A and B are shown apart, each in its own frame.
Chain A
C-alpha cells in the first residue's frame, strides 16, 4: 500500500519546526506575497532558507503556496521570487494561476508545480488535462467522495493530494467572491474575510418588498461549514491511492499544529504497520478535541452534503485546553524539565505534557523554580523560563498544556 505523505501547514518558522518534529513528511508555507493567507505571519526568503535547512534534518519537504489568482500587479517580482525559492531548496510551489506556472517553468524549472485546490478540480479528465501541462501534482477539490477520488487515482499518473483535516470552504474553492462583494477584500488574493460564516436572513420578495422568512428558532441562516476530520476513516483514506494528505491551517495555533500532526502521524503509521489490527484509539479522538475550535464532520468524502455538515446553531463549546509551555530541556538525572511559559499556572495545577509519537501524561506541579533558582508559587510572566519536576521523562520540543 502506498504510504501517503502527511503534509502540514507551517504558519511561521516556529510552526514549521514543530510540524517537522511532530511527524509531518512535508510542510507548506506562504511567503510575503503571492499566497492566499495575507493575514498569516508568512515567511521572508531568509526564513524560508532557514526553514528548508531545518526541514532537511528531518527529511521533510517544503512547498510554498503561490496560489492567488494574479492581477497584473501581482506578477511583479514573481520571477525573482521563484528563482530564490528554487535556490533555497524548496521542493515545489502550489499554484492556481497559469501566469505563475509559465514563469516558474521558465525560470525555476527544478521547482515542482502543484495545482492548488483553488482550481476546484473535481474529475479525472481535468487532472489528465493538467498532466499534459507537465504538472507534478494536483490537489483535488474538497467536494469529492471516496469513490470519485479513487476514480481519479485509478485513471491518472500525476501525484494526487487530498485534504484530511481542517477548515473547509462551503463554496467550490476559487469560485467564491462573497468577500469581494461584501468588504472589497479579494478572496482569490488572500483577502477572504469568511463572509460565509456570518449570519444572514433568508427573504423572499412580495410586491417588490423583501419579506423575511419566518423561523422556528433563533438561529439565522449561514453558509458556515463544519471542519473536516477524517481520523475515523484512515483505512478508507489510505486505500484511495493518493500521494499526500493535507492538514489545513496555516493560521492555526502552535498547539493545534502539534496536536493534529501528532495524532494523524500516529494513526497513519499504526494503520500502515498492521492494517488488520488497526483500531482508532479513543485517546486519539480525545487529543484532536483538545485542538478543535469548531465542530467537525466527514462531509463530502462520505457523500453526505446534508445539514449535518453545516453550523446553523453555533452552540459548540470547544474543550477548554490552553497551551501552557514549550519544553526547552530535560535533565534525566534530576527529573526536572525546563520550559518556556506560554500561559500562567500555579503550584498544585495539573498540567499535561505531550511529545512526538503521541506520548502524553499528566503531572501535578509540586514546585516551580524560576531562572534565578527561586521557588515560586505561580508562573505568570509570558515566555519566562521555569523548571518543574516531572515523574516521566520528557524532551526538548515537548509541549505543555493545561485544562
Chain B
C-alpha cells in the first residue's frame, strides 16, 4: 500500500499529537489561516505553522498549508507575502484552488510544493498532466466522480493524487453573505450562534450552511465515509487519503483518524479479513458521532447530465 493519510490539525498541540501517534501512516499534516484558507477549523498564525512544520519534519511528515480560497486582486500582495513567509518557516507545500498561487510561486521563485484542489472540477487525469507540466506537485480529485473514475485517474496520473475519503462534501460557495442578505430582507436578525442549516423540506434533508468572511458555503447533508470500502480504492496509485475535519470536534476527529488507521492497517495485513469486518468499522464510526449520517458520496452514484 502506497497511500498515506493527509490529516488536519486543530491546534499546534493537536498537530503534535496526531503526528506523534500516526507518523507511520501519514504523509501530510494540513493547517491553514482564515485569511487565505477556505472554511478552516482553526486560524493558524505563521508562528503556529512554524511550530507544526518543525515538529512534522522530525517525523519526516510534510506540513501543507491551505491557501485555497478564490483570490481577488486585493488578495494578491498579501498572498505573495504570506507564501514567502510560509517558505521562511519551512512549510513544505500549499493546497490551492486559484491559479494565482502557482503564478506567484513561479514569479517570486518560492520553492513550495503545491496541490491543486478546487473541490469540484478535477474530474480526469488530464489535470495531473496539467499539474506535471506546470510544476504543480499534485491534485485533489473532484468529489463528484465515481470511484471507478478516481481509480482510473490515479492509474493514469502524471503527478500526485489526493482523494478525500471522509467528511462533509463541499457543494456551494457564494461571494454573497446570504444569511445577512436574508436578514436584511426579513428586517430581522437571522444569524445564529448555533450551527445553521439549509433545509429542503421536499427531500427532508438539512445541509450545513456557513457564512464567513469569504461568503456563504453549503455542505452535503451526509458525510462521506469510506471506512468500509477502503479495499476498493487504488491504494497503490493514490498518494494521499484526506480526512476532512469540518464540523467535528478534535476528539471526534482523533477517534475517526484512529479508526481509519486501524482499518487501513487491517486491510494491509489481510484484505479478506478487512472485507469480512468492513461493516463493523462503519458501526464503530457511527458511535463516534451518533447523530451524523454517512454515505459514500458520488463514488457509487453516477451523475446524469
- A residues engaging B (CB < 8 A)? 38, 68-72, 74-75, 96-99, 102, 118-126, 128-130, 141, 143-144, 148, 151-152, 170-172, 174-178, 180-182, 184-186, 188-191, 196, 198, 200-206, 208, 210, 212-217, 219, 221, 223, 300, 305-307, 309-310, 312-313
Q: Please measure, in the bound complex, the distance between the C-alpha atom of A146 and the C-alpha atom of B192, giving whole angstroms.
A: 34
Closest partner residue, chain A, to B188 (CB atom): A216
Q: Does B34 contact A (CB under 8 A)?
A: no
CB distance from A250 to the nearest CB of B (A): 15
Stretch of B16-24, B124-132, B255-263, B266-274 on the interface side: B124-132
CB distance from A178 to the nearest CB of B (A): 5
Question: Do residues A206 and B121 form an inter-chain contact, with CB atoms below 8 A?
Answer: no
Question: Do residues A97 and B190 form an inter-chain contact, with CB atoms below 8 A?
Answer: no
- 25 inter-chain pairs at a CB distance below 8 angstroms, sorted by A residue, are A71-B145, A71-B149, A75-B124, A96-B121, A99-B126, A119-B121, A123-B72, A125-B71, A128-B103, A129-B99, A129-B100, A175-B119, A176-B120, A177-B120, A180-B298, A181-B220, A185-B304, A200-B199, A200-B200, A215-B188, A221-B178, A223-B172, A307-B180, A307-B182, A307-B185
Q: Does B184 contact A (CB under 8 A)?
A: yes
Q: Does B2 contact A (CB under 8 A)?
A: no
Given contacts A176-B120, A191-B303, contact A122 B185 (CB under 8 A): no
Question: Do residues B172 and A177 form an inter-chain contact, with CB atoms below 8 A?
Answer: yes
A residues in contact with B245, CB < 8 Å: none
Q: Does B186 contact A (CB under 8 A)?
A: yes
Q: List the 9 closest pairs (A to B, CB-CB), nearest first.
A: A99-B126, A191-B305, A125-B100, A189-B305, A186-B303, A307-B181, A98-B130, A204-B194, A129-B99
B residues in contact with A219, CB < 8 Å: 185-186
Question: Do residues B121 and A126 form an inter-chain contact, with CB atoms below 8 A?
Answer: no
Q: Does B201 contact A (CB under 8 A)?
A: yes
Q: Please measure, in the bound complex, the distance between the C-alpha atom of A283 and the C-alpha atom of B218, giving whole angstroms.
A: 42
Contact among A126, A151, A202 for B199, CB-based, below 8 A: A202
Contact among B100, B124, B145 for A126, CB-based, below 8 A: B100
Given contacts A124-B73, A143-B175, A309-B176, contact A221 B198 (CB under 8 A): yes
Question: Do residues B182 and A123 form an inter-chain contact, with CB atoms below 8 A?
Answer: no
A residues in contact with B192, CB < 8 Å: 204, 213
CB distance from B181 to the nearest CB of A (A): 4
Contact among A72, A129, A144, A178 for B172, CB-based, below 8 A: A178
Given contacts A122-B70, A130-B99, A307-B182, contact A72 B124 (CB under 8 A): yes
Question: Do residues B72 and A203 form an inter-chain contact, with CB atoms below 8 A?
Answer: no
CB distance from B173 to the nearest CB of A (A): 5
B residues in contact with A171, CB < 8 Å: 172-174
Closest partner residue, chain A, to B220 (CB atom): A181
CB distance from B148 to the nearest CB of A (A): 9
Question: Do residues B73 and A152 form an inter-chain contact, with CB atoms below 8 A?
Answer: yes
Total number of A-B contacts with CB less than 8 angstroms?
Answer: 223
CB distance from B175 to the nearest CB of A (A): 5
A residues in contact with B152, CB < 8 Å: 72
Q: Please measure, in the bound complex, the distance between the C-alpha atom of A315 and the C-alpha atom of B154, giving whole angstroms.
A: 50
Closest partner residue, chain A, to B181 (CB atom): A307
CB distance from B140 to the nearest CB of A (A): 14
Q: Please measure, in the bound complex, the distance between the C-alpha atom of A201 and the C-alpha atom of B200, giving whole angstroms.
A: 7
Closest partner residue, chain A, to B216 (CB atom): A223
CB distance from B234 to the nearest CB of A (A): 14
Q: Please measure, in the bound complex, the distance between the C-alpha atom of A175 and the C-alpha atom of B121, giving whole angstroms.
A: 7
B residues in contact with A210, CB < 8 Å: 197, 199, 206
Question: Do residues B206 and A203 form an inter-chain contact, with CB atoms below 8 A?
Answer: yes
Given contacts A174-B121, A180-B298, contact A313 B196 (CB under 8 A): no
Contact among B123, B197, B218 for A97, CB-based, below 8 A: B123
Residue among A71, A74, A143, A313 with max Cβ neighbours from chain B (10 Å): A71
Given contacts A129-B103, A185-B305, A306-B181, contact A178 B196 (CB under 8 A): no
Contact among B73, B146, B198 for A151, CB-based, below 8 A: B73
Q: Does B144 contact A (CB under 8 A)?
A: yes
* CB-CB contacts below 8 Å: B251-297 with A: 291
Q: Does B85 contact A (CB under 8 A)?
A: no
Question: Do residues B176 and A313 form an inter-chain contact, with CB atoms below 8 A?
Answer: no
Question: Do residues B124 and A71 form an inter-chain contact, with CB atoms below 8 A?
Answer: yes
CB distance from B142 to the nearest CB of A (A): 7
Q: Please measure, in the bound complex, the distance between the C-alpha atom of A189 and the C-alpha atom of B149, giving whole angstroms.
A: 15
Contact among B71, B178, B185 for A223, CB-based, below 8 A: B178
Contact among B119, B126, B143, B203 for A182, CB-based, below 8 A: B203
Question: Do residues A186 and B144 form an inter-chain contact, with CB atoms below 8 A?
Answer: yes
Q: Please measure, in the bound complex, the distance between the C-alpha atom of A98 and the C-alpha atom of B100, giving whole angstroms.
A: 17
Question: Do residues B199 and A178 form an inter-chain contact, with CB atoms below 8 A?
Answer: no
B residues in contact with A189, CB < 8 Å: 303, 305
CB distance from A148 to the nearest CB of B (A): 5
Closest partner residue, chain B, to A309 (CB atom): B176
Residue among B126, B143, B190, B291 with max Cβ neighbours from chain A (10 Å): B126
A residues in contact with B221, CB < 8 Å: 181
Question: Do residues A175 and B72 form an inter-chain contact, with CB atoms below 8 A?
Answer: no
Closest partner residue, chain A, to B183 (CB atom): A307
Question: Do residues A216 and B144 form an inter-chain contact, with CB atoms below 8 A?
Answer: no
Q: Does B98 contact A (CB under 8 A)?
A: yes
Question: Do residues B197 and A204 form an inter-chain contact, with CB atoms below 8 A?
Answer: yes
Given contacts A70-B123, A185-B305, contact A122 B103 (CB under 8 A): no
CB distance from B185 to the nearest CB of A (A): 4
Query: What string of 1s and 0s marks CB contacts (under 8 Å) between B10-49 and chain A?
Result: 0000000000000000000000000000000000000000
B residues in contact with A129, CB < 8 Å: 99-100, 102-103
Q: Does B75 contact A (CB under 8 A)?
A: yes
Q: Please measure, in the bound complex, the distance between the C-alpha atom of A123 and the C-alpha atom of B221, giving whole angstroms.
A: 32
CB distance from B152 to the nearest CB of A (A): 6
Closest partner residue, chain A, to B203 (CB atom): A182
CB distance from B128 to the nearest CB of A (A): 10
Q: Please measure, in the bound complex, the distance between the C-alpha atom of A12 and the C-alpha atom of B175, giving whole angstroms.
A: 33
